[in-house]
Structure 1
Amino acid sequence: MSVFLAKRLLTLIATLAGASIVVFLVLDILPGNAAQILLGPDAAPDAVAALAHKLGLDQPAWTRYWHWIGGLLTGDLGESYAYGSPVLELILERLQLTVPLALLAMLFTTVLALAVGVSAAARHNRLADVGLMGLAQVGIAIPNFWFAILLILVFSVKLQWFSAGGFDGWDAGLLPGLKALLLPALALAVVQAAILARITRSAVLEVMREDFVRTARAKGVTQRAVLWTHVLRNALIPVVTVMGMQFSELLAGTIVVENVFYLPGLGRLIFQAISNRDLVVVRNCVMLLAAMVVVVNFVVDVLYAAIDPRLKASDL
């Protein structure tokens, strides 16, 4: 197990290093001058040059890169050009909303997908199977921002059960906070649940053809117990793979949904930083999202080994 984890950790570190280089180079070669944008188009060249020097924009690229990496390792992410606040404080404040939103959306995605996928597989080629997969296909085709607007129109404008947007913070209470995130989480989850449901159905159908399933049925095990105890566990490997990728997509998808619901999360921070060309904030937020993707993939690899020890043994 130690060899398996060591290999995965080395891969994680190498991937993060490569991602940091790509993120820095892509943002560094973008046209435009942050100092010019902050001071306005009519600012004097001397003032622009002085601000660029203060922000370190006149330093060589490799110097700025190593300074940035050193800050990442020590927790010093610099100061936002637009907000005038430490970037780390801005990110930590916004993550208090974005991470619970992504986790709630992932919970909805998992529950809906497993229920629909297993139910459809249990009724293979019947009307219920066709109907559920038809709904899943419609869910895949729906853009999450359009579904978010539809939820606002129905549940906020028409029924007035939920607020149309905004977030009062967790200080207002856990239930009010979860209520504010419910519609955004559903908007994020509907597409991912539809995709995962189809994959779950295919994986369950494949496992149901195995000999051990027929043996369990011959022993008198009920259909429900066979599906949820024997079949689903062995079908989880492709499902967990997609769930890992989907959680990363949910984190990235918050950029759009948070702007629809006016939520002060990480996605809205990135959107505002791009508009202000606040490269310090953009660079660190994009790197954070990339790191989350890599870490999630690492967790998925570890879960592989827990679900199917043969995968772990093959790496030893």
Structure 2
Amino acid sequence: MSLFLAKRFATLVATLVGASVIVFLVLDILPGNAAQILMGADASPEAVAALATKLGLDQPAWARYWHWVGGMLTGDLGDSYAYGSPVLDLILERLALTAPLAFMAMALTTVLALLVGITAAARHNKLGDVGLMGLAQVGIAIPNFWFAILLILLFSVKLQWFSAGGFDGWGDGLLPGLKALLLPAIALAVVQAAILARITRSAVLEVMREDFVRTARAKGLAQPAVLWGHVLRNALIPVITVMGMQFAELMAGTIVVENVFYLPGLGRLIFQSIANRDLVVVRNCVMLLAAMVVVVNFIVDLLYAVIDPRLKASDV
């Protein structure tokens, strides 16, 4: 198993390096003058040249890349040109909202998907299975932003149980903060839960055909004990694989959902930075999102080693 983990860690490092190169190439090397974009089409050549020098655009590409990577390793991400403050401070401030929102959405996705998927598999080809999979199909077809608007109309406008948007921070306490993020988390989780529920159902049905499941039933174990005690663990490997990919979808979905609910999170920061042509913030935020996705997939690989006993017994 140690060799397995070493290979996965090497893949993690190589992927991060590759992602940094791609992000740098897209935002700094491709045709176009970043200084001209920031200053606008009517800016004088002298002003554009001065800003290019301030941005370091007059340096070779390799020098700018190493300066950026060195800054990331030391925590110096530069200053935002639109906000006039360090990029690291901006990201940490916005990440305090986006990270809990993403984890709430992922938790809701997991709970809903496992309950629906296992329940549908236990009632295979029965009315419950058909009904749950029909609802899952509807969930897949619903766009996040449209469902977010429906949640606002129902729970904020009509019932007035939740605020229609905004976030006052964590200073008022944990529960008020979680309540403000509940509707956005549900809006993010519905589509992903529908997808994961279908995959869970398929994985559970495949495992239920195995010989050890028939043996467990022959020993007199009840259906819930067989499903949750024997089938689920063996069906989790494809489910966890999809969950790792869905985390990337959730992080990307925050850009839209945070704007619908007017939440000052990382997604809204990226949106505003693109509108303000603040390329320094965009570059570092995109790299952060890429790193988060890579790290989550590395954690998924670690979970493989916990769930699959074959990896514990070998170093393949």
| TM band (smaller chain) | over 0.9
When the two chains are superposed, the root-mean-square deviation of aligned CA atoms in Å is 1.4
Structure 1 window deviating more from structure 2 (21-30 vs 207-216): it is: 21-30
**Which position in structure 1 is the counterpart of 2:104?**
104
Q: Displacement of 1:5 after TM fit?
A: 1.8
1:253-276 deviation per Cα after TM superposition (whole angstroms, max 9, x unaligned):
101100111101000001111111
What residue number does 1:118 align with?
Answer: 118
The corresponding residue for 2:134 is 134
Q: How far does the alpha carbon of each residue in 1:206-228 deviate from its partner, in whole angstroms, 9 at most, with x for none? A: 11111111111111111111111
Residue 293 of structure 1 corresponds to 293
Which deviations, in whole Å up to 9, do the C-alpha atoms of 1:76-97 show, x marking residues without a partner? 1111111111111111111100
Alignment pair present for 1:227 and 2:227: yes
1:112-145 CA-to-partner distances (Å, cap 9, x unmatched) read 0001000000000001100000000010011101
Distance 2:31 2:260 in 1: 28
**Which moves more between the two structures, 301-310 or 125-134?**
301-310
Q: Deviations over 1:141-185 (max 9, x none)?
A: 111011011111111111111111100000111111001000000
C-alpha distance in 2, partners of 1:40/1:283? 19
Cα drift, residue 34 of structure 1 = 4.0
1:251 corresponds to: 251
Question: Are 1:63 and 2:63 counterparts?
Answer: yes
Does the 8 Å contact 2:28/2:34 carry over to 1?
no
Identity over aligned residues, as a percent? 86
Find the residue that maps to 2:204 and give its secondary structure.
Answer: helix
Please tell me whether the aligned partners of residues 2 and 315 of structure 2 are also in contact (alpha carbons under 8 angstroms).
Answer: no
Q: Could you report, residue by residue, the CA deviation over 1:88-107 in whole angstroms, capped at 9, with x for unpaired residues?
A: 11111111000000000011
Q: After superposing the two structures, state which structure 1 stretch, 158-167 or 302-311, moved more.
A: 302-311
1: CA distance between counterparts of 2:235 and 2:216? 16
SS at match of 1:204: helix
Residues 133-172 of structure 1 mapped to structure 2, 5 A cutoff: 133-172=133-172
Larger displacement relative to structure 2 (164-173 or 36-45): 36-45
8 Å CA contact 2:71–2:77 kept in 1: the answer is yes
1:302 aligned onto 2:299? no
Distance (whole Å) between structure 2 residues aligned to residue 121 and residue 199 of structure 1: 11
Asked if 1 retains the 8 angstrom alpha-carbon contact of 2:102 and 2:251, the reply is yes
Give yes or no for contact 2:166–2:262 (8 Å, CA) kept in 1: yes
> In structure 2, what is the equivalent of residue 198 of structure 1?
198
Partner of residue 18, structure 1: 18
Classify the secondary structure of the residue corresponding to 1:42.
coil
Residue aligned with 2:160, SS = coil
Kept in 1, the 8 Å contact 2:108–2:186? The answer is yes
The CA distance in 2 between the partners of 1:314 and 1:216, in whole Å, is 27
Amino acid at match of 2:82: A
- In 1, the alpha carbon distance for the partners of 2:275 and 2:312 equals 46
Deviation at 1:315, TM superposition (A): 4.2
Consecutive unaligned residues in structure 2, runs of 5 or more: none
Partner AA of 2:284 in structure 1: N
Q: How far apart, CA to CA, are the structure 2 residues paired with 1:147 and 1:138? A: 11
Instruction: Give yes or no for contact 1:34–1:278 (8 Å, CA) kept in 2.
Output: no
Any unmatched runs of 5+ in structure 1? none
What is the rounded CA distance, in whole Å, between the counterparts of 2:45 and 2:267 in structure 1?
A: 33
Contact 1:4 1:312 in 2 (8 A): no
